[in-house]
Each structure stands twice: as structure tokens, then as C-alpha cells.
Amino acid sequence: MGCQGHTMHRCHSLDLHLLPGGGEAGVKAGSWTVLEIVEALGSCLQSPEPLTRGRGLQLLSQVLLQCHSLLQEEEVTHLVLFYENRLKDHHLLIPSVLQGLRALSMCEVLAPGLAVSVLKAIFQEVHVQSLPQPERHTVYSIITTFMHTREEELKGLGADFTFGFIQVMDGEKDPRNLLVAFQIVRDLILRDYVLGPFVEELFEVTSCYFPIDFTPPPNDPHGIQRDDLIVGLRAVLASTPHFAEFLLPLLIEKMDSELQSAKLDSLQTLSACCTIYGQKELQEFLPSLWSSLRREVFQTASEKVEAEALTTLHSLAACLSRSLLNSDTEDLLDSFLSGILQDCRHHLCEPDMKLVWPSARLLQAAAGASFRATQRITSSVLPLLLEQYNQHAQSSQRRTILEMLLGFLEIQQKWGPQDEEESALLRSRAPLSSVVFSALTDRSVQLQLVGIRALTVLGTLPGLLAPPDVELVVDHLTRLILDADDSQSCMAAMEAAGSLAPLYPGVFSGRMVRRLAEELQSEREEEGQPSLRARCRQALAAVSTHPSIVRETVPVLLQCVQQGQKGSVPADACDVVATCQSLQRVAVQCQGDAESCWYYHQTVVPRLLAAALQATMQEKACPPLGKLLLEEDTLTAMVPVIRAASTHLSPELAAQSVSQVVSLFLDGEVSFLPQDSFSCPFRPFQAGPCAASQRRLVALLMAFVCSLPRDVAIPQQDRLLRELLALSCSCECPFSATAAAKCFAGLVNKHPAGQQLDELLQTVVNRMEAALAAGPCRSQALTLLLWVTRALVIRYHPLSSRLTDQLLGLLGDTELGPSVADGFSLLMADSPDVLHRGCHADVRIMFRQRFFTDNMPKLVQAFHAASPDVQANYLKGLSHVLNYLPRPVLVPELPTLLSLLLEALSCPDCVVQLSTLTCLQPLLLEASPVLSLHVDTLVTKFLGLTASPAMAVRIAALRCIHALASLPTPVLLPYKPRVIRALAKPLDDRKRLVRKEAVVARGEWFLLGSPGR
Amino acid sequence: MVGAPGGGSPLENANPLIYRRSGERPVTAREEDDELPDSIDDREIFDLIRSINDPEHPLTLEELNVVEQVRVKVNDAESTVVVEFTPTIPHCSMATLIGLSIKVKLIRSLPERFKVDVHITPGTHASEHAVNKQLADKERVAAALENSHLLEVVNQCLSARS
């Protein structure tokens, strides 16, 4: 007894001394050797009392876990032998023994042979599945470690290793362990360990978990999801063809299961297997697999299962197509497809057409697997469908058949050009095109639309359209574009023309483009309905998808623009705007091709400039027509055309063009324009007879210079900047002044940093401050300030904070305050014309977040200091900033802004109300506790806003009331009667969208505190 | 008035035919125009009731074809709504409960000016007359909603499906 007491005591003292970290630190530092620790623990390790031995062993294992990397080979050998021996010890000790072995398994200096001996000992001495979960996990860890580091030695064990592991794993229940175990099995198979006679056992021990049925407990700290296990197990089952004979019957059985999840898992696993299986594995099971798959599609219970079944069929067919054939085996693909055809083909001909779609989907899934499969199935189905089409007379049935046909054609498209002369498709060429053409002339729009799609596919398949057919196709499309009553058919025909034009450019330009151009010409004389002109212009743009066609359509479209200037037709601004939109589309389609892009730029930019210039001269002569091109709408529509023509230019060509355009604006150098005699000189930056209208063209200058790549140098940039600055600060016409300000800002944004930029900005700041202080041009100066601020904010320029401060100060200005508040949206939003990435501006990511973090405290502070009559400006500014901020950034900041937001709800401005409501709604849905304190205010304000004159505000307010119901019920119950009563009124709102929200909100409030919610 | 669905008893119609749901009503430009009023039409009423859950199945009344848009008639000017519903089988014991759910949903969702008439599609239920009488009786409807057990079932039918 005394002796035992002594050891106990000693052990305790060791405990205190060594833990935590004492012993490990000692060994690490080299002051203790492992031997010394073992000796110190000696009496404890030899104690007859298992508890005491256990404590000693636990301590030693913990030391080893910390220090295994420092051990010497000899030490490791001794320790391994010691631990192996201890596996035979009392069961209480096993956890510590396994920990120690795990530590030793990680030693790099483990002598050869020891890994095998450790594993043998574990397999022999330990009944793993009777251990608790953590210890089982330790065993898997040891095995995993050895498999990574001692692969060769383990393989020396042969099938014994596999068998040992099977015994270890057999009966495992814990999902954490299963994930590791599945990984081990997978490695066993993929790294070619010897499975020997144990293939079936290994399959049994893993497949018993299939299909995985596991729901993670609530608040599961391990975060293992059902899908993790499914994927882990599937990787095992689908890792080797050796499992096929066992797995396929299992999958077939589970596909017949009632459980949708089991069906899905089986189908997905089968698909995964198809990537490694061959004919041999599948052969025996093909009939049952097919009948199961067919059932899932024919008697579909869920779209998911159906889609999965189709995918699986596709994989099966692909697998059979891939397999190599011996000379003596039959081609299974052929017999498999024959079976499918036999079961599905007749459904396509049944008059009630009940099962046509499932059959077509099955056939298409199989056909899409390989070129061979496509040929086999199309050659059988295509003639049948063509015959069916001609037998059915109704448009709706014909449409169904043509849609199926289209599906098969699209599959054919997948394989690209094939040199097989006798393809099924080529044989049916004539009837196929006659079917498609008949659809195009049918009265049913739906059938026409399918016909157009089929035509597009047909046209892209090589050799299917004979040259006369191509002409016919183009004529059909032209007819649909010009005459179709339905705009859908017309649009579809334009799209089809766009896709086919690059394949047959000659036919399209010779027939369609010419016809459309003629139509535009003749219309001019007859003054026909405007929609036909619009269609012609749109179609010209749509078909401009090939360089040679672009060269023909662009002049026609440009002529339409010039019509407005020449005044031969009383064209209206809408016409010119629409033409510009078509021109822009052409420009975008040209951007990919450098040559077309340059042609387009060279042709369009000078001619648009010349046309506009001509208009400025004519002003006095015939005011109404000449001015058309100078109207704000028209010029604004030309901006995107010039921008699209300039953003994708190569730097050399851009440099050539920029010098011409800049000298036109600065020096009146008109020689590069197609028409170079004008009645008065072009001097937009100087006072002159036509200066007021000439200045409007600065918008076009902006469109061009602000769209160039950043590395294109702009000649005379300083002079240009000075002129723009002067114009923006002094011009009386807001349109010209704004264009100049935007142009200036666009250039400043791309200006390289440095002294030159700093000096320039200093001039601007002085100039703006002077103009803002007093005088007639305050609002122009504000516009300039806003644009320059945006230019600097998006590139993180240090001066931007000074300018922003100035704007914040101006919010308190009684005269300019409201415009400043609106201007905040300009700072945050992407402008279509300048200062965005599309026109190569210097835009840093997350500039909005940065603007928000930098300026929000100042804005809040300034709001509280402001006098009540200008406070609304601050709220509006805030609203704009919040509106453009990404939600995830906004939500954490909202509690600090809450008091301001509550204030903003009382602001009479609709913009403020709307943005505040949209900000509050997500906060309410998250039921932030801070909101519960303000329920009274929130309920009152929201209910008040449901009577707002603006529909959007009423809708937002009702959504907030709905979201309010997420707050804790006890807080809300006192308000329930009031809210329900008040919501009766919006139920009778004159707008349906408002009523819809009111119904949802009121319904939710009825359920509050009521049983069955 | 009616019994709630029995706890362990088998479903009366275990394998009903399922119909396609109509999609969300597309929003038109007119509806987005602040100026123009939109009158309450049949589709709007149908949208109110089509998503009511069936008391027995995890399906909506629309999916079971219990309610159809053609059986909804509204007259906005005269403030009347008539809804006919069709039980899935002629002996459906849930008929009254379904009718009650429709009625409660409409009362909660329509302006007070409306007179709401909910009844069984003629000839589709064994005790059509009795059910219709119960649904038309204001006092009995009110009394039914005092019963907290019944209210719970109705509320479950009306809760948004998660």
C-alpha cells in the first residue's frame, strides 16, 4: 500500500512538473532525453494498477505527440516495440497506446519494417469497432499516415493489409470516421494496393452505406453535411471497374426505390461509374438499366429525377461509344441504341402525341453521347419526324414535331464538320429544308419562330443548304423582317440573319442588304409607315456581322443620319436617335475585328462630325431641320456611337485619329472631314457667330477623347484642358457646359500623376472656388466640381477628400444644396458616357466602400450641425450613397446610422423616403435587437408612408411592415390591431402592385401570435 | 363544424392528380405607371387563393386543381367576389375546411367593401348544400375562427410555404 501510495505521489509530482509543456519543452530543448522521461515514469509504467499505468502512458504519449520529430531512430524503434507490446495491456490503456503509436507513425526516422509491424499488431490485438469514436479515428489516422509515407512497405503486406483494414472499418457508424475511411478505401484502390480475394468484402463494407441517409444534428460543430458523405462514398464506389458486378445490381435496385434521394444518388453514382467502365462491365446489366431509366422519364415524378436519368443515359451511351471493340465482340452501342429506338420510336408517331416529349428527350440524350450515336439515332428518327410533320396539319402539332427535329439538329451541330458523305442528315436534305420553309410561311407565329431557329441551325451545318437554298433562306428572312405582322418573328429573323451572315456574306449583302437599302430609299419618297423604316435600320445593324457586310450597311445607316441634316424628309429626332442606336450596335459587333473596327472608326466618326458641323452652319438658313442634329437627344445618341467606335482602337490608329479630332476642335482644321468647305470657320472654344451651337459639339469631342485607351497621348492636352475648363465654368448653355466638364473630368482621370497634374488641379480648384463663391455661373461650377470629384474619387487621388469636403459644405448652401444632394448619385453611380471601366478610366475597386467609410462620419456630423431647413439635403445625399453601396457592406453599418434613418423617414422627399425604406428592410428582416426599441416610431412612420403619393414608396413601406413581423412577437403584439386596421386601406389601393404587398403584409400580421403560424 | 385532419388516419385521397402551377403574373408597363389605376380582376383574386396549402397534402389548392381561375368571378364596381372550388373527391371531408380557408384568406386580403361568396362547384361534392350553407353563414364562420384548434389549421393553410 505504502509503495503504491508512493508511486501515485511520484506520478502526481511528475504530472505537475511535466504538464503542461514541461516535459515537451525539456525534450525539445535537449535537456531531457526520451529515455530519461521513460525512466522517470518507470515505476509508474510498471505499476500493477491499470489506472496508474494508464496515467503514465498517457503522459508519455502526450510528450511523444509534441516531440516526435526530434526522436532518434533507435529511440523510435524501442518505443514502437514497447507500445506494440502495450496493445495487449488492459483495455483502459488502449487510448493512450494508440495516441503514442500515432505520434510514432509520424516519425520520419521510423525504421523500415516497423510500419508493417505496427499495423499487424493493431489488426491482431485491437477490436477497433468496440473502441469509442476518437480512438477509432486515431487508428484511421495511423493507417492514413502510413499509406502516405510507407506505401511500398504496406504493399509488401499484400492482401493482408486490405483484409486488416476491412476488419477495422467493418461496422463504422460515425460520419467523421466514415469520411476518413472512405478516403482510405479510395486510396487503396487508386494506388493499386493488392485487393486479392477481398474485392467483394471491400465492396460490402463500403456499399452498405449506400444510399447515404444522414441528417446532421442541429448545431453540429463538425459541420459534416450529407453531401460530403455522398461524395466521399461515390468516389469509392465509382473508383474501380472491379466493383461493377456488385454495384450495378445495387444501383438498379435503389433506382426502383420510393425515395427520391435514393433515386438521385443511384443515378449520379451510375453516371460517375460510366467514366471508368467499359462494355465488359455494363453488358450484362444494360437491359435492366435501360428499363429503369426509361421508367424515370416516362413516368416522371420529379423534374430533377428526370433530368438526372437523362444525364445518366447520356453517360451510358457515351461510355459504350468509347469502349474499344475486339473483332469478336458485338458492338454493344448498336444494340443498346436499337433497344432505345424500339421503345421510343413508335411514341413519336402516335396520334395523341402523349409520350412524344419524354421519348424525344430520351432519344436526344442518347444521341448526344457521340457522333456514332447521333448518326445511328438521327438516321432512324429523322425520316420518321419529317413524315410525321407532313401528316399532321395543325400548326401546334407541327410545331411540336419541328421542335423535336430542332433538338436533333442541334446535336448534329455539336460534332462540327464531318467528312462522312452519307450522313443521315445529308440524305434527308431536301425534305428537311422543305419542312423548314413550310414552317416559315405558316400563319402561326409560334411555328414560325421554331422554323427560324431550325433554319439557323440548318444554315450552320455544313453542306445542308444548297446554294439555291441559301438564296431562298435569305429571301425568307428578308420577307419576315419586312412583312411579318408579329414583331417576335421579325426580331427572330433579324437574329438569325446576324448568325448566318458571316457564313454566307455574299448572299446576304447581295440580297438582303440591297433590299433593305432600297426599302429605306423608296420609303423616303412614299413616306410610308415609320415602323418599316425602323425595322430596316434594325435589320441592317443585326446583319452587320461580317466585315464585307459592314462596309455596305454603314454607309446606308450614315445616310439616314444625314437625311436629318439635309432636310429632304421631315425626319424627327426619334428617327435619328434610332439610327444612332443601330450604328452603335454595328460598332459593338465590329469591336472584335481590328480591321472592321478601324474601317468603322474611319468612316463613321468623320462623317458624324461633319454632319453635325454642317448643322451648326445651317442654323440660320433653315432653323428647324438643321437644328435636328444639334438637339440634346440626338447628340446624346451620337455619343455612344463614337464611344463604341473608339474604345477598341489599337493605340497607333487611335493616335492618328486623335490628332485630327483635337486639331479640329482647337484649330478648326477640317481637312480630314469628307466635306471640307463650310460657310464659317469651326471655333467652338472662341466667341463667334455660330459659337453657341458649335459648343454643343463638345459632347462629341468628349465621346471620342474620353474613350481612348489610357496609353494614347493626346496632343496639345494642356491647351485642350484649359479650353475645356474655361468653357465649363463660363458657358451659359448647361448642355455644353456639362459636356465640357465631363470631358475635362474624363481627361483628368487618365492624366498620369505628378507635378503637372497637381498644378492643373490647383488651377481648377482656384477657378471653381472663385466661381462657386458668387456670380452667375455657380451651378456650372458645381457641375464641374461634381465631375472632377468623381474623376478623382474613383482613382483614389489624395485631392478627392478635399473636394468631397467642399461638396459636404455646399450641402448646407440654401441655393445649391439640393443640386449637391442630387449630385451625390453622380459620384456613386456609373455614368454611361465617361469615367467607367468600359472607356478605360482609372477606376479602383471598392471606391464606393472607401467613399462611404471616409465620408459617412462627416456627413452625419454635418447633418446634426445643420439648420433644419437644409437638413433634408444631407439626408438625400446620404440616401444616394447608401443606395449604391453593396448590401453586405451596408448592413453592419446600419445600426450606427439608425437615428439618421429614422429622421429620414419623416423627410418629405420621395427619393429620401424610398432609399431609407430600402435600407431599413434588410435590417428589419435580420430582426436586429436595436430595432425593437423603436417599434413605435417605425410602425407610425411606415403606416404613414403607405399613403404616399408615389407608388414605389407605398410598396417599400408595405414591404417594411411585412419585414417588421420578423421582430419578436411580444414586442409587436400591442400594435397588431392597429396595423391590421391601417392596412385595410392599402388593400384597396388603385395600383395592383401595392395591393399585392398589402395582402402579404396584412396576412403576416394576422398570423402574429396566432396558433398555427 | 369540421374535424381537423386526423393525426394517424390514412389520407383520403393518397395519390391525387397534380396540376401545373401558373407562374407569377408578369408585371406590365401599365401596372408600373403610377398614374393609371388597375382594377381588381379575376386573376388577382385567383393569385390570392392559388397558393393556399391543402390541409392534407404538401401541395397548393392550385396544384390539386381545387381552385381554377375560370371559377373565380369578381366585379370590382359592384364589390362582389364569387369563388367556386372543387374538392378532389366527392366525399372529401376537408371540403368545409378548404372553403373556410379560402373565405378567411379573401376576408383578410380584400377591401372591406367586398361581399365574398365561396361555394363548392355544383355537382362535385356529396354534401355540397350543407357545406355551402355553413360557408355562407357569417356567424358560423366567426364562431369557427374562435375555435383555436380550427384557427390553427386555417392559419397553417394560409402560411407562406417555406
What length does chain A have? 1013
Of these ranges, A321-335, A474-488, B73-87, the one predicted with the greatest mean pLDDT is B73-87
What length does chain B have? 162
- So what's the pLDDT on residue A301? 67
Per-residue pLDDT band at A9 (split at 50, 70, 90)? very low
On whether any CB of chain A is under 8 Å from the CB of B154, the answer is yes
Tell me the chain A residues in contact with residue B48 when contact means C-beta distances shorter than 8 Å. 999
What would the mean pLDDT of B88-105 be, rounded to a whole number? 89
Of A422-436, A497-511, A970-984, B57-71, which range is least confident? A422-436
Please choose, from the candidates A523, A525, A540, A624, the residue with its C-alpha nearest in 3D space to the C-alpha of residue A578: A540
- Asked whether the beta carbons of residue B44 and residue A990 sit closer than 8 angstroms, the reply is no
On whether any CB of chain A is under 8 Å from the CB of B100, the answer is no
Give A258 or A474, the one with higher predicted confidence: A474
Per-residue pLDDT band at B162 (split at 50, 70, 90)? very low
Please choose, from the candidates A477, A486, A483, the residue with its C-alpha nearest in 3D space to the C-alpha of residue A436: A477
Q: How far is A980 from chain B (nearest CA, A)?
A: 9
Report residue B47 as a C-alpha cell: 393569385
On whether any CB of chain A is under 8 Å from the CB of B136, the answer is no
Task: Say if residue A8's pLDDT is above 70.
Answer: no
Helices A34-45 and A50-67, interaxial angle, to 10°? 170
Which member of A990, A1010, A1012 has the closest CB to residue B37? A990
Tell me the chain A residues in contact with residue B111 when contact means C-beta distances shorter than 8 Å. 984, 987-988
- So what's the pLDDT on residue A54? 87
Per-residue pLDDT band at B17 (split at 50, 70, 90)? low
- Asked whether the beta carbons of residue A990 and residue B148 sit closer than 8 angstroms, the reply is no
On whether any CB of chain A is under 8 Å from the CB of B109, the answer is yes
- Asked whether the beta carbons of residue A1011 and residue B148 sit closer than 8 angstroms, the reply is yes
A850's enclosing H/E stretch is helix A847-865
pLDDT tens, residue by residue, A592-641: 888 889 999 999 999 999 888 888 876 554 444 457 778 888 889 999 99
Find residue B73's DSSP bridge partners. Answer: B82
Task: Say if residue A111's pLDDT is above 80.
Answer: yes
Please choose, from the candidates B57, B74, B59, the residue with its C-alpha nearest in 3D space to the C-alpha of residue B20: B59
- Asked whether the beta carbons of residue B159 and residue A992 sit closer than 8 angstroms, the reply is no
- So what's the pLDDT on residue B71? 92
3-state secondary structure of A681: coil
ipTM: 0.91
- So what's the pLDDT on residue A10? 35
Per-residue pLDDT band at A732 (split at 50, 70, 90)? confident
pLDDT tens, residue by residue, A526-580: 455 567 888 888 999 999 999 999 999 999 888 888 775 555 455 577 788 888 9
Q: Are strands B115-120 and B80-85 parallel, antiparallel or unpaired?
A: parallel
- So what's the pLDDT on residue A164? 93
Residues with Cβ within 8 Å of A13's Cβ and at least 6 positions away in sequence, in order, are: none
- So what's the pLDDT on residue A417? 67
Of these ranges, A226-235, A727-736, B30-39, the one predicted with the greatest mean pLDDT is A226-235
Strands of the B115-120 sheet, one edge to the other: B72-75, B80-85, B115-120
Per-residue pLDDT band at A524 (split at 50, 70, 90)? low
Which member of A984, A990, A1004 has the closest CB to residue B112? A984
Per-residue pLDDT band at A177 (split at 50, 70, 90)? very high
Residues with Cβ within 8 Å of B28's Cβ and at least 6 positions away in sequence, in order, are: none
- So what's the pLDDT on residue B1? 41
Which member of B31, B47, B159 has the closest CB to residue A1007? B159
Q: What are φ and ψ of residue A58, in 5° steps?
A: -60, -45
What would the mean pLDDT of B32-38 be, rounded to a whole number? 87
Which member of B47, B149, B155 has the closest CB to residue A1007? B155
Nearest CA in chain A to B30: A991
Which member of B32, B105, B111 has the closest CB to residue A988? B111
In this structure, the number of other CB atoms found within 10 A of the CB of residue A474 comes to 24
DSSP letter at A631 equals: S
Buried b (16+ CB within 10 A) or exposed e, A775-804: eebbebbbbbbbbbbbbbbbbebebbbebb
3-state secondary structure of A262: helix
pLDDT over 90, % of chain A: 47
pLDDT over 70, % of chain A: 92
Q: Which residues 59-98 of B are in CB contact (within 8 Å) with A?
A: none
Nearest CA in chain B to A998: B109
Is the backbone peptide bond immediately before A20 cis, with ω within 30 degrees of 0? Answer: yes
pLDDT tens, residue by residue, A225-262: 889 999 999 999 999 999 999 999 999 999 988 888 89
Task: In whole angstroms, give the CA distance from residue A137 to residue A174.
Answer: 9
What would the mean pLDDT of A754-780 be, rounded to a whole number? 89
In this structure, the number of other CB atoms found within 10 A of the CB of residue A934 comes to 14
Please check whether residue A145 is in contact with residue A106, taking contact to mean a CB–CB distance below 8 angstroms: yes
Write the DSSP assignment of chain B as a string of letters. --PPPPSSSPPSSSS----PPP-PPPPPHHHH-SSS-----HHHHHHHHHTPBPSSSSSBTTTTTSS-GGGEEEETTTTEEEEEE--SSTT-TTHHHHHHHHHHHHHHHS-TT-EEEEEEPTTS-TTHHHHHHHHH-HHHHHHHHHSHHHHHHHHHHHSPP-
Task: In whole angstroms, give the CA distance from residue A13 to residue A7.
Answer: 10
Average model confidence (pLDDT) for chain A?
86
Nearest CA in chain B to A1000: B109
Cell 509488401: give the residue.
A156
pLDDT tens, residue by residue, A40-82: 887 778 888 888 888 888 989 988 988 888 888 888 999 999 9
- So what's the pLDDT on residue B7? 40
Task: Say if residue A22's pLDDT is above 60.
Answer: no
Please check whether residue A587 is in contact with residue A645, taking contact to mean a CB–CB distance below 8 angstroms: yes
In this structure, the number of other CB atoms found within 10 A of the CB of residue A395 comes to 17
- So what's the pLDDT on residue A566? 54
Please check whether residue A484 is in contact with residue A538, taking contact to mean a CB–CB distance below 8 angstroms: no
Find residue B60's DSSP bridge partners. Answer: B53
Please choose, from the candidates A403, A400, A401, the residue with its C-alpha nearest in 3D space to the C-alpha of residue A453: A403
pLDDT tens, residue by residue, A891-918: 778 778 888 888 888 888 888 898 889 8
- Asked whether the beta carbons of residue A991 and residue B31 sit closer than 8 angstroms, the reply is yes
What would the mean pLDDT of A204-221 be, rounded to a whole number? 85
- The structure's pTM equals 0.72
Nearest CA in chain B to A1004: B159
Tell me the chain B residues in contact with residue A302 when contact means C-beta distances shorter than 8 Å. none
In this structure, the number of other CB atoms found within 10 A of the CB of residue A772 comes to 22
pLDDT tens, residue by residue, A123-132: 998 999 899 9
For testing the chain A interface, which of B34, B53, B113 should be mutated: the one with the most A CBs within 10 Å? B34
Report residue A14 as a C-alpha cell: 511528475
Give A976 or B23, the one with higher predicted confidence: A976
Q: Cα angle vertex A181, ends A177, A183, to 5°?
A: 120
Tell me the chain B residues in contact with residue A984 when contact means C-beta distances shorter than 8 Å. 111-112
